[in-house]
Structure 1
Amino acid sequence: MKKIILVLGIIVTAFSSCSDYIEEESLSNVPADETYKTASGFQLLVNSDYARLKGIYGGNPWLFESGTDMYAEGRTPEPAGISQYTLLIPSAANVDDLYTSCYQQIQSVNKTVYYSTITEQTASLNSLVGEARFLRANAYFLLVQTYGGVPIVLDNITSAVLSFKRNTAQEVYTQIIADLDASLAAVGTGAYAATGKVNKRAVNDLLAKVYLTRGYETFGTPADFTKAAAYADAAIAGQALNIPFNQLFVTTATSDNDLNAETIFSVQYDKNSTSTDPTKLGNNQFYYFSSYLGGAETGAPLRSYNLCPTTYALGLYEKGDKRWDATFMTEILEETVTVDGKAKTNLYFPYYRPANASAVKVRHFYEPKWFTAADKAAWMTANAARRATTFVYHPWGEYGADHTLIDNRDCYTIPVKKFDDANPTTPSSTGPVSTRDIIVSRLGETYLIAAEAYFKAGNPTTGLDRLNEVRRRAGVANATIGQFNIDYILDERGRELVGEYKRWFDLKRTGTLVDRASAYNYKIKAANFVGVDGKLKILRPIPQTALDLNQNKDFPQNPGY
């Protein structure tokens, strides 16, 4: 029986909340060890590796997006430490979310790698192990970006030892790249939309991100940026961005378009798989990025006022940018229907499934930044017949996150609609749950990774070409070489990737977290980042639970804490 090095992901709370973490239930009464030595049992192990992604991405997204320039607190309080930094300490709420879930993913893969040497040898075995090693690399990449150096654990965990050492960030990157190199050599080339499995394109995409991020580190080299550009181009593989932006995230009452030709990797959900516990087995992405969600079953739909877009985020768009209407619910619709002989007004979802389309009215309209007085007059005239009795016109600058300080009524911040689920698994009264996939990597972002990598590698002309492919699809004019810099790349990533679990990592990677968060997030000042030792809180702290459980008291905390 192998020893375990107990890292933070394997803490008492993890054991109590996930009893199958160490020992799986065998419904057939066949010992797990014997099961995993068969081809079908080993496939179950790999399936469990994929399932662990839901623990990483499916819950709240604080560590991905909170405390940035794009999203700020609305009328519902966010965890103060994560979102505002002043109160960010090792024991703060949600600090350990990624630490726990990523190490659970790592242990799941470690078990897979262990059994791969003693299970039934099949033609698909190497590819399956390659898929698993990709997932382990992804988990370590999230950890090293968030917390810096962390313990590297590669053994199959079977018993607990409460002592571990901290590897350096450089060592973690070396391990990530080793896993991805092995994965790239082993996985298949089948289209992701057809197989739903890690393929060479997904590995190339993650290698591009890893090398790009490592290039900014003190131990990074210019060669990292060159490699990032090459891997990004390998993932792009000459494919243009030809799916209209408003079709990338389209949802209807019967289907979604999550698994399209531009999806490179995602966390996949299925309504049938969540039917046993729909309030927990789905994900919350749609909930956190809209200020007004819910179903037609109530007149007071589910509300969320967390991670509301900042005025900076809303102001990134120019006239003609197709991403504006595809990303935000620029009109909130209402419909009055008769239920059990009584009139009831439904908001928001009549956009997707009106009972009587001719009776749908506009309750709220959010004026874009480029509107002039003449544009407003023209809109009001053109939509006179559509306006509801209680219609509200929201002028530019009066529906960002900070406006909740002045007016925090329902619908007074603009909703993000791209993650909406037109057919949620539960009514609003039982929980904010969606079974839409969470898209982790897609082609539009890969073009932007290539743009940044070429820029940092000293080839801005090629980088600009990659960025302008994104703008071409959006329907806006090409950026010029004079505009092309890191700030412009971050702005373009902001326009393209609203809510897609990227922003904190983007700012941390590029060294712009302090400046941008304090400039555009009304809750944050630059002084918020100054820690107890005068160092800036750039990395999140190593969670206190990890330090308390660790019998090696030489394990260092991050600067600032």
Structure 2
Amino acid sequence: MKSIKTILYTAALGLAISSCAGYLDEENLGNTTAENYYGDQAGYEGLVNATYSTLRDVYQPTPYVFCAGTDLFFAAHAEVPLGLASYQTLTPGNGQVEELFKTLYQSIQIANMALEYSNETAPYTALETRVAEVRTIRAYYYFLLVQNFGDVTLVTDLIKEPIVSFERNPAREVYDFIISELEMAIDDLPMDQPDFGRVTKRVAQHILAKVHLTRGYDTENGGSAADFTEAAQWADAAIDGQALNLAFGELFEYQNDNNEEILWSIQYAEASTLNSPAHNWDYPWGPLVQGADDGVNKKNALHPTEYLFTLFDDADTRFEGTFLNIKTSPYTGYILNPESTPVNYYYPRTAAQLADTTAWRAASPNRMETIITPIGPYWWDALNQTDFPALKKFDRLQLPDIRYTHDLYLARLGETYLIAAEAYLQAGDLGTALARVNEVRRRAAAPGMEAAMQVSSVDLDFILDERARELAGEGLRWMDLKRTGKLMEYTATRNPDIKAIYDSGTDPFLGANSEYKILRPIPLSAISLDAGDYPQNPAYE
């Protein structure tokens, strides 16, 4: 595949490919080669750090490819790619799909380079651990690829010369490779690392649990009931007896990114974002906020659905931990100066909140002019651009004197419990599945309401509801629904864009060859540049 070839070859040699042979023949005046640059600890550590840095590349764009087209959010602005939002017009030319495909392969080649030169660098104490970290990151990238695209090319060695044609490996082989790599990494990883954000044994166990859980549903590609048992065991190993001790709202608090429940995250210290792009995960959730004094730039692009807004029990604190139930002026006043910042809007939703708006207003002089907008259809009206609870999990500050970018969480303990719950459910151990769910709900309960939040039975639909309450906006929902076979069923009734297409008599998921658009298309640029016959996914042929 020439597109991947160019990407990988360029990354491998650190050169800009040129048609001028003289450029490639220029003398290396510094006598610096990859072999001697990466031949000692300092050079090799830089290569490992470069592998971590690729995580930013994968997650930097506005997260439409991760979050659009599910039952939690619908498109409320034209900038959301229509194909990702409602599938009917999803084609191999979709730019966000192409960017994901390309960036994952670029990132894999950086990992391949780190693994290649691990054999050349002088041995040092942490080398074995660093190799295991890189293996885990590369396995994670292949997991993203196989979930999104199905059969994909396994590129496991550093490419040092042009390759003009690739084959797609069956998803069965990709799963086998991912599992083998993670098992190997787990053996060499420590339980803890001195640097927060590095891969640990628990991170690899969390990912491996999710890989087995995902493959368990995919019997065509080697999945079986044994995968669910494996997933449950690996998830429990990652939990390692740790309870969910933090209040849910603390998980995403300002400057609390490195809290005890975060197993793995992409780090965004201020100094590291001065000369490199930060993520854009705070932007698309709205409501519209674009003032210089506000410290944020938000647009109503991915609007919460009625299903998501109404999913939380009155005693469930995850609503207020996920959504901002006030809107202050300036917007970031709720973070930086909550005691004295005027509150423009208040969004009550529980019976107690709705009954107590007079007392709520009287509790602070900052609330005397507040507009109170209770839960109702106006919240999930696509035309409502400014007056609804904002998803706040990734709010970052962009003020002259304060520059803060919230870390992106790739693995956290609350999800590990829910992976375990789903795996135990599918393995037939309903009692343990229930216990794992109830631990998540116990932590989510308002003080004194822990018993009321406990449930006595669970099924797959309930666990997916629980994942929506716990993980909304964290980029996991599309893969959750694809994994469990619920994507078409849930979006047909809960996503108003997709429901409207169904109601008009058209199935938006139905593609070519009577195949459904459950996988993403292989980008047209990759297929057209391959010298062989690189196959497209059937729904897009």
**If the length of structure 1 is used for normalisation, what is the TM-score?**
0.86
Gap change, CA 1:186 and 1:351, over 3 Å in 2: same
Gap change, CA 1:45 and 1:470, over 3 Å in 2: same
The aligned residue for residue 171 of structure 1 is: 173
CA distance in 2, matches of 1:453, 1:27: 57
Alignment of 1:394 with 2:373, yes or no, is yes
Pairing of 1:479-558 with structure 2 (within 5 A): 479-482=454-457, 484-525=458-499, 526=502, 527-553=507-533, 555-558=535-538
Gap change, CA 1:203 and 1:300, over 3 Å in 2: closer
Alignment of 1:376 with 2:359, yes or no, is no
The one-letter amino acid of 1:395's match is P
Q: How far is 1:65 from its partner?
A: 1.1
What's the CA shift string for 1:364-414, capped at 9, x where partnerless? 12231x438xx535313431464767643223223444x023xx34x2232
What's the CA shift string for 1:331-384, capped at 9, x where partnerless? 1123xxxxxxxxxxxx32111223x944x332112231x438xx5353134314
CA distance in 2, matches of 1:29, 1:273: 30
CA distance in 2, matches of 1:545, 1:558: 17
The aligned residue for residue 415 of structure 1 is: 390
The aligned residue for residue 131 of structure 2 is: 129
1:464 is matched with which residue: 434, 437, 441? 434
The one-letter amino acid of 1:306's match is A
The one-letter amino acid of 2:372's match is Y
SS at match of 1:440: strand
Q: How far is 1:30 from its partner?
A: 2.8
The aligned residue for residue 453 of structure 1 is: 423
Asked if the contact 1:76–1:305 (Cα under 8 Å) also holds between the matched residues in 2, the reply is no
CA distance in 2, matches of 1:506, 1:299: 34
Moved more, 533-542 or 381-390: 381-390
Q: How far is 1:74 from its partner?
A: 1.9
What's the CA shift string for 1:54-89, capped at 9, x where partnerless? 011122211211100001112454100111101001
Gap change, CA 1:115 and 1:352, over 3 Å in 2: same
2:14 is matched with which residue: 23, 26, 43? 23
SS at match of 2:344: strand
CA distance in 2, matches of 1:400, 1:522: 14
2:343 is matched with which residue: 362, 379, 384? 362
The one-letter amino acid of 2:41's match is A
Asked if the contact 1:140–1:176 (Cα under 8 Å) also holds between the matched residues in 2, the reply is yes
Q: How far is 1:447 from its partner?
A: 0.2
Moved more, 544-553 or 91-100: 91-100
Asked if the contact 1:60–1:285 (Cα under 8 Å) also holds between the matched residues in 2, the reply is yes
Asked if the contact 1:288–1:307 (Cα under 8 Å) also holds between the matched residues in 2, the reply is yes
CA distance in 2, matches of 1:554, 1:292: 43
The aligned residue for residue 338 of structure 1 is: none
Pairing of 1:76-475 with structure 2 (within 5 A): 76-191=78-193, 194-218=195-219, 219-251=222-254, 256-277=255-276, 281-293=277-289, 297-298=292-293, 302-334=297-329, 347-354=330-337, 357-358=339-340, 360-368=341-349, 370-371=350-351, 376-384=354-362, 386=365, 391-401=370-380, 403-405=381-383, 408-409=384-385, 411-421=386-396, 423-424=397-398, 435-475=405-445
The one-letter amino acid of 1:261's match is E
Asked if the contact 2:263–2:411 (Cα under 8 Å) also holds between the matched residues in 1, the reply is yes
CA distance in 2, matches of 1:301, 1:494: 25
What's the CA shift string for 1:182-236, capped at 9, x where partnerless? 11111122257x5431111111101100000000002211000000000000000
SS at match of 1:287: coil
Asked if the contact 2:285–2:298 (Cα under 8 Å) also holds between the matched residues in 1, the reply is no
The one-letter amino acid of 1:442's match is R
The one-letter amino acid of 2:246's match is I
SS at match of 1:227: helix
Q: Once the two structures are aligned, what percentage of the paired residues are identical?
A: 37
SS at match of 2:300: coil
Asked if the contact 1:9–1:99 (Cα under 8 Å) also holds between the matched residues in 2, the reply is no
CA distance in 1, matches of 2:339, 2:55: 39
SS at match of 1:95: helix
Moved more, 283-292 or 146-155: 283-292
Stretches of structure 1 lacking an aligned partner (at least 5 in a row): 1-5, 335-346
Q: How far is 1:535 from its partner?
A: 1.3
- RMSD over aligned CA atoms reads 2.6
Asked if the contact 1:73–1:307 (Cα under 8 Å) also holds between the matched residues in 2, the reply is yes
Q: How far is 1:21 from its partner?
A: 6.4
Gap change, CA 1:352 and 1:292, over 3 Å in 2: farther
Asked if the contact 1:201–1:235 (Cα under 8 Å) also holds between the matched residues in 2, the reply is yes
Aligned length: 516
The one-letter amino acid of 2:336's match is R
CA distance in 2, matches of 1:309, 1:349: 21
Q: How far is 1:303 from its partner?
A: 3.0
Q: How far is 1:544 from its partner?
A: 0.7
Alignment of 1:68 with 2:62, yes or no, is no
CA distance in 1, matches of 2:202, 2:296: 40
The one-letter amino acid of 1:480's match is V
CA distance in 2, matches of 1:139, 1:376: 45
What's the CA shift string for 1:217-275, capped at 9, x where partnerless? 02211000000000000000000000111111110xxxx11111111111111111222
Asked if the contact 1:147–1:558 (Cα under 8 Å) also holds between the matched residues in 2, the reply is no
CA distance in 1, matches of 2:43, 2:61: 28
Gap change, CA 1:27 and 1:239, over 3 Å in 2: farther
Pairing of 1:28-39 with structure 2 (within 5 A): 30-39=32-41
CA distance in 2, matches of 1:386, 1:155: 64
